[in-house]
Amino acid sequence: MRRQKANAAQGLPELIEIAAGKKFTENYKEKHTIDAMYGWYRYESRFALPVFNEVGEIERYNVFNVIMVIRHAKDGKMYLYDIMNIKKKRAPFSSPKTLLSKKPIS
């Protein structure tokens, strides 16, 4: 899954832009008192990677669903902490625009 996480990291602006399903969790660990003083947020998102055939044409896209963990720091800013629960979901041939709809972060 490291490869998928690295690929997801390249598309961070898009991952954040289409993120949904905001869930808040209080910070319970003392070690995160400063870096997550105001708690944690989890968002669901997704990204797609093309799969090429023998002649180099796109055959299909592998779609991955992810959970992004965001920390709300003492400075009031929110920072990406981790991308986790990367789950592959195969999709038929489609353009990236239909796979990754423009849904605002909530």
Q: Is 104 domain-assigned?
A: no
Is the pLDDT at 14 greater than 90? The verdict is no
Print the domain residue range for 50. 2-94
In a domain, 18, yes or no: yes
Does residue 100 sit within a domain? no
Q: Report how many domains make up the chain.
A: 1
Question: Cα dihedral sign for 13, 7, 100, 15?
Answer: negative
CA 6 to chain CA centroid, Å, is 11
* 2 three-class SS: helix
Token representation of residue 90: 């195969």
Percent of the chain with pLDDT over 70: 83
- Nearest-angstrom CA–CA distance, 82 and 66: 10
Nearest Cα residue to 3 out of 59, 49, 56: 49
13 residue type, one letter: P
Query: Looking at residues 63-86, what average pLDDT do you find?
Result: 90
Question: Residue 106 falls within a domain, yes or no?
Answer: no
The answer to the question of residue 73 being in a domain is: yes
- The pLDDT assigned to 45 comes to 93
In this predicted structure, what is the pLDDT of residue 106? 43
